[in-house]
Structure 1
Amino acid sequence: MTFRTSLQTLAAAFLLLAGSFATQPLLAQSTLIQNAPGRRVLSLNGRWNYIIDPYENGFYDYRREAFDQSKSGKGGYYDNAKPSTKQETELIEYDFDHADALQVPGDWNSQRPELLYYEGTIWYKKSFNLQPKAGKRYHLYFGAINYEAHVYLNGKKLGMHKGGFTPIQYDITDRLNPGGDNFVVVKADNTRRPEEVPTINTDWWNYGGMTRDVFVAETPQTFISDYKVQLAKGNMGQLAGFVQLTGEAKANQTVTLSIPEAKITQQVKTDGEGRASFTVPARKLTLWSPQTPKLYAVTLSTGTDQVQDRIGFRTIETRGADILLNGKSIFMRGISMHDENPLIPGRARGEGDLRMLLTWAKELGCNYVRLAHYPHNETMLKLADEMGLLVWGEVPVYWTIAWQNPATYQNAENQLSDLISLGKNRASVVVWSIGNETPLSEPRLKFMSSLAQKARSLDDTRLISAALELHRTPDNVIHVDDPLGEFLDLTSINEYAGWYWGGKPSEITKYTFDIKYNKPVTISEFGGDALAGYHADADTRWSEEYQEALYQQQIKMLSTIKNLRGMTPWILADFRATRRQHPVYQQGFNRKGLISSTGVKKKAFYVLQEYYRQLAKQYDGK
């Protein structure tokens, strides 16, 4: 049992006592099944009936006491109650079966005009038929629910989860109805709160609802719940990893690792906790890189279970100013992106949307993408593996967090742990980012450095970074001396010369950089807004020409940084942001995209594309 699971178990027990012994205890969220979509699954995507509940009538009684903490545990919308034939004796003021439906996966903001700006509670309900099989276990899995989710199966609470971008999973084997008819109800609440992660103030749309796939995964009673198969740290000739079994028969089991194409077969025995570690010589592998995104078919099997994955193998490290991929110095030619298809309203809904975004990045000349500012869909990481794109993965520790609140820190650490769990077998993922633009203070340094240490304890084979703070002095020097930089592998900064400060684009080359750390420098953001199709001179804000000139001058300015080894300008495509309210140029969009909300490439796109062509010749020989 992990420390996190222990905490959740204790929390569930406390809630049980506080609720005057509700009928069934809450379930602790299961440790996330590695590659859960690769299991035999029953999809619960599609139409879910919903009820808008801004007063939370379905959760609290009129005394503001939670129904699911009462003695009976009854009375909430999660009961999915139906009137009997004696309707005059019952008062039921909701009815899922006659309610409208929303599509899942999908946010609610983009599906109903009246929900565009809605922040609060919406209840979802889905009926499904699943006849449990003897010797099998069943796991209810949500890819993401924004933000706070209370999950119920057949009227009984499974648990509560916070975090809008990481999976939720419960073992529901003992909660399924023997007859096969079941229903799941979810209370989704996207209310922003200052103590949460992210905090109350962000620069992206607060999409509410069940935004990623929902399914029930089937496994044997004892199954392979987790694994890592990667190259050992700094060793291109040796695989290292582990396998974890869950179930009553997890101890002293033989697990076979098989990679037929690489002629690798290894057997290991699990210990009393169901875990086994391994190291395997692997000297003839074709290493994964953006030029050669080689993936191997990997199988892990026991006497009762088998999982399959497609995994690439590569090393990533830093040495002085250099970033070394498979021992070779690289320049990470990147772009930032949100989990949003600009061509249609709402969150990205599936593989088609995600593949389109990465295809645009490839067309730009990228070998690298920053998935900002929160964990993206697991499918995105697999596509990056396949398409040959390095990945920066990030948690939403964004701007001003409640640094001294222990619950806020634990929430951030949980999201970081889940992000690393999802991506640890993906060769594309080379950077774990612990936050973005967090203001300097001692509590912030303690919070962020603790996250950095946690990330290293979970995965020592990837680089750790964050978008650091900078400051300017009257002599036009940009100083980078954020003390958090001591704990990181990369010196990454966001700078907006030519847009938020520094005058016009033609004036920004006057700036020089004073960077404290002798580490690789990556510019995690720069850019400026442009409304596609609006043309003027290079000094006119919002025009394509202004953005074009800004990119030209930024490249000149940044090229003077001796340790510059990568960049991810802000941003691939225009995206929706409630803060962006200019009625002519923004209209609810952040317009810093190189591609417009109608898919049109702006003039700056071609500036960066040409710069990346030159860098590819220099570093890749192309």
Structure 2
Amino acid sequence: MKYIYLLFFVLLLQHVQAQTGLIQNINARKTVSLDGRWHYIIDPFATGFRGFQGATADEHGLTGFFENKQQQQPGELVEYDFERSPTLVVPGDWNSQSNELLFYEGTIWYQRNFYIQPQGGKKYILRFGAINYESYVSVNGKKAGTHIGGFTPFEFDVTSLLKNGNNSIVIKVDNIRKKEAVPTDNFDWWNYGGITRDVVLAELPSTYIKDYKMQLAKGDLKTITGYVQLSDSAASQNIRINIPEASLQTTVTTDNNGKAFIHLPIKKLSYWQPENPRLYDVIIATASDTVTDKIGFRTIEVSGKNILLNGKSIFLRGICIHAENPLIPGRPRSNSDLQMLLHWAKELNCNFARLAHYPHNENMSRIADSIGLLLWEEVPVYWTIDWTNPDTYNNAQHQLSELITRDKNRASVIIWSIGNETPNNSDREKFMEGLADYVHATDSTRLVSAALLTSGATNNTINVNDPLGNKLDVVSFNEYYGWYSKEMPWEIGKFNFQVAYNKPVIITELGAGALGGFHADSTVRFSEEFQASFYQNQLPLISKIDGLRGMTPWILVDFRSPKRINPTYQMYWNRKGLISETGQKKKAFYVLQHFYEEKAKQQQ
């Protein structure tokens, strides 16, 4: 029965993906940015979508606020007005842009005009980097489409909806937390609502290169494999692939589905690694379309308790990162925000980062590619998902599919994570095993993991025996002994770990809170000295783990959370960051920095 359950959902998701597949590397095409200031209307009761008797705007041919109606006569009744409404910056969350919206959860309408002269024989794709959480998009009063999920990109073909000259987009955005959603209604970060990432309108030829994947074959440093998928089922189309700096080129031909497979033996190649993040220009061309990407080539696999990068053992010196800029509150709005976070990680002597607990901006992986930082990417299957709800599973797998589609060509991404701190029970096991099987079937060139929980300590032994570990390539778990335990940091040396799997281990979270600038004795909780003591005692503790191949302490920078309400030390901030919300490095930053420096020397 379990396997029938899983198969049903895999087949269902494959059907959905066939309808909603993403264009690979859309920013390499001819695009018009729709970022900037958008008008907005706060609508806590969804008045613009739902009539007073309950009928929705969609039932009446997309009426309501989607019409963007303008008053034509002084006596005409129109109870909203986008043109005279205030504006929000896109990309950007609404919570950090207005004091009245700091805690707001509900519906907000966005609207903006744009000018375009559509060309015959072209396709026009409207692409959103992310909107949190549910979005309903209309163009010129006609439905473009809907999307559920707050952290992955989505797009609509709007060719037939555009008109010559001025055009209007209206979007209903709703970030209400729901039990059946992914993430569910209980999570430990700020529920930033709005259009949080870039919006572009892409112009493409009628038949274009929609998708491609090019990576070294699993465990094979001598062969590049992958595929190219055209937008139409155009058979017998020649596709030229050229990697000039590696003196590699080939021509492949599409099958009846418009897909062509790649098998390219390597003559000479510099493999991507943190110490040498070599990227190659890859040019893919058809008779009507050309796309250029920068791709690094590397292999990642496990052997016993080792993680092998390009066939060599590596220790992952990592840190967890939330998608939040502490200096300009809210979601990151530009590449400079992303670069700041990743360069802080590099300053910490990291070669690895866990992007928690949801997909981050796609430019994070591109920057990581260029600076040599390995990545763990995760979907928000967090804590207590509605495990028995088919729609919830469908949602989780779809977000995972969108993430893999988006970042499958990024050399920096080595681990897909299917969740964080999920409870150990049979319903959860079915749900998570389905996700693990899906990832293994979708992308064999990377590893699969999840941040598990320990099952507690017995006779000073901390046990890791979650059955989900059988499905994972790397056993990863969170532990906070010395913070969320009766023992103080200086008392945890008595513990040992018992891991029930002959697999590499990554400690995905450990940490302690400290208010930046608060100094006291090391026994005083929330002082920088207490946090430093925690790290000084934790690092020797976890170093005793047989098979420890990496760690990502929690967390690089303090971040906002409505669950952290202590008025003296937290003030709605999670204070476990090694860097404060003002950019100040805490004492623990230097403890971990020195530890990683010594680890790096050992690997040389």
Which of 177, 182, 185 in structure 2 is aligned with 1:197? 182
2:70 to 82, 105, 116: 82
2:246 and 2:269 in contact (8 A); partners too: yes
Letter in 2 for 1:122: I
- Is 2:48 aligned against 1:64? no
State the alpha-carbon separation in 2 of the partners of residues 375 and 60 from structure 1. Answer: 31
Query: Which amino acid letter does the alignment assign opposite residue 178 of structure 2?
Result: R
Are residue 91 (structure 1) and residue 77 (structure 2) matched? yes
Aligned-pair identity (%): 55
- 8 Å CA contact retained: 1:49, 1:101: yes
Partner of 2:4: none
Gaps of 5+ in 1: 10-27
- Residue 436 of structure 2 corresponds to which residue in structure 1? 452
Judge conservation of contact 1:238–1:283 (CA < 8 Å) in 2: no
Q: Quick check: 1:331–1:566 contact (8 Å CA) kept in 2? A: yes
Q: In structure 1, the residue corresponding to 2:562 is in which secondary structure?
A: coil
Q: Shift of the alpha carbon at 1:168?
A: 1.6
- SS of the residue 2:396 aligns to: helix
Q: Which of residues 234, 237, 250 in structure 1 aligns to 2:222? A: 237
Separation of aligned partners in 2, 1:283 and 1:614: 36
8 A Cα contact 1:5 1:31, kept in partner: no
The answer to whether 1:108 aligns with 2:94 is yes
Question: Counterparts of 2:243 and 2:31 in 1: how far apart (Å)?
Answer: 25
Counterpart residue number, 1:49: 39
Conserved 8 A contact 2:177-2:185 = yes
Counterpart selection for 2:341 from 353, 357, 362: 357
Aligned position for 2:126: 140
Change (3 A) 1:283 1:318: farther
Q: Which runs of 4+ in 1 moved over 6 A?
A: none
SS state at 1:149 partner: strand
Question: Equivalent residues in 2 for 1:95-494 (5 A)?
Answer: 95-177=81-163, 179-247=164-232, 250-494=234-478
Residues in 1 aligned to 2:414 and 2:32: alpha-carbon distance in whole angstroms: 32
Distance in 2 (alpha carbons) for counterparts of 1:362 and 1:594: 13
Look up the match of 1:547.
Answer: 531
Q: Deviations over 1:237-288 (max 9, x none)?
A: 100000000136x221100010000001110010111001010011410000
**Partner residue of 1:596?**
580
CA distance in structure 1 between the aligned counterparts of 2:148 and 2:359, rounded to whole angstroms: 14
**Secondary structure, counterpart of 1:444 in structure 2:** helix
CA distance in 2, matches of 1:453, 1:167: 23
| 1:410 partner SS | helix
Preserved contact between residue 122 and residue 187 of structure 1 (Cα < 8 Å): yes
Q: How far apart, CA to CA, are the structure 2 residues paired with 1:289 and 1:5? A: 33
TM-score computed with the length of structure 1 as normaliser:
0.94
1:539 Cα shift?
A: 1.1
Q: Which AA in structure 2 matches 1:118?
A: Y
* Contact persistence 1:502–1:508 (CA under 8 A): no
Root-mean-square deviation (CA, aligned residues, Å) is 1.2
Q: Give 2:22's match in structure 1, choosing from 3, 27, 32.
A: 32
Shift in CA distance, 378/119, structure 1 to aligned 2, threshold 3 Å = same
Structure 2 counterpart of 1:611, from 566, 571, 595: 595
Q: Give a deviation string over 1:440-462, Cα, whole Å, max 9, x none.
A: 11010000010000011110010
Deviation by residue 1:91-117 (Cα, 9 ceiling, x = unmatched): 210000010000000000000100000
Aligned residue for 1:12? none
Could you tell me how far apart the structure 2 residues matched to 1:565 and 1:300 are?
A: 37
Contact 2:232 2:257 survives alignment (8 Å): no
- CA shift, 1:502, in A, is 4.3
**Rounded Cα–Cα distance in structure 2 between residues aligned with 1:474 and 1:245:** 57
The letter for the 2-side match of 1:50 is Y
Note the C-alpha offset of 1:74.
Answer: 4.5
- Given that 2:564 and 2:571 are in contact with CA atoms closer than 8 Å, whether structure 1 keeps it comes out as yes
CA 100–138 in structure 1, closer or farther in 2 if over 3 Å, else same: same
Deviation at 1:134, TM superposition (A): 1.4
Contact 1:236 1:283 in 2 (8 A): no
Q: d(CA) in 2 for partners of 1:96 and 1:6?
A: 37
Q: Distance in 2 between matches of 1:394 and 1:74?
A: 35
Shift of 1:75: 3.1
Separation of aligned partners in 2, 1:606 and 1:519: 30
Q: Does 485-494 or 152-161 show the bigger shift? A: 152-161
| Counterpart Cα distance in 1 of 2:403 and 2:458 | 41
Which residue of structure 1 lines up, in the alignment, with residue 554 of structure 2?
570
Deviation at 1:3, TM superposition (A): 5.8
Conservation of the 8 A alpha-carbon contact between 1:106 and 1:209:
yes
Q: Residues of 2 paired with 1:74 and 1:316: CA distance? A: 49
Change (3 A) 1:84 1:5: farther
Matches within 5 A, 1:521-532: 521-532=505-516
Other structure's SS at 1:98 match: coil
Give 2:276's aligned amino acid. T
- The whole-number CA distance in structure 1 between the counterparts of 2:239 and 2:457 is 60
The amino acid of 1:76's aligned partner reads: G
Give per-residue Cα distances to partners, 1:185-229, cap 9 Å, x unaligned: 110000000100000011100000000000101110000000001
1:15 is matched with which residue?
none
- Deviation track 1:314-339 (CA, whole Å, cap 9, x = no partner) reads 00000001000001100000000001
CA contact (8 A) 1:229 1:425 kept: yes
Checking the alignment, whether the CA contact within 8 Å between 2:13 and 2:397 is kept in structure 1 is no
- 2:264 and 2:16 map into 1 onto residues whose CA distance is 35
User: Is the contact between residue 528 and residue 586 of structure 2 (CA under 8 Å) also seen in structure 1?
Assistant: yes
Give a deviation string over 1:54-107, Cα, whole Å, max 9, x none.
01110000011102112xx1531010001223x42x321000001000000000
Aligned pair count reads 594
Q: Which amino acid aligns with 1:494?
A: N
SS in 1 for 2:523: coil
1:576 Cα deviation from its structure 2 partner: 0.5
Q: Deviations over 1:461-484 (max 9, x none)?
A: 100000112122341211000000
Deviations 1:511-550 (A, max 9, x none): 1111100100000000000001111111110000000000
CA distance in 2, matches of 1:287, 1:430: 14
Deviation at 1:7, TM superposition (A): 4.0
Which secondary structure state, in structure 2, belongs to the residue aligned with residue 471 of structure 1? coil
Go from structure 1 to structure 2 and tell me whether the alpha carbon gap of 1:317 and 1:182 turns closer, same or farther (over 3 Å shift): same
Conserved? CA contact 1:145–1:165, under 8 Å: yes
Helix, strand or coil for the counterpart of 1:139? strand
Residues in 2 aligned to 1:324 and 1:502: alpha-carbon distance in whole angstroms: 37
Give the residue type in structure 2 aligned to 1:39: R
8 Å CA contact 2:362–2:407 kept in 1: the answer is yes
C-alpha displacement of 1:174: 1.0
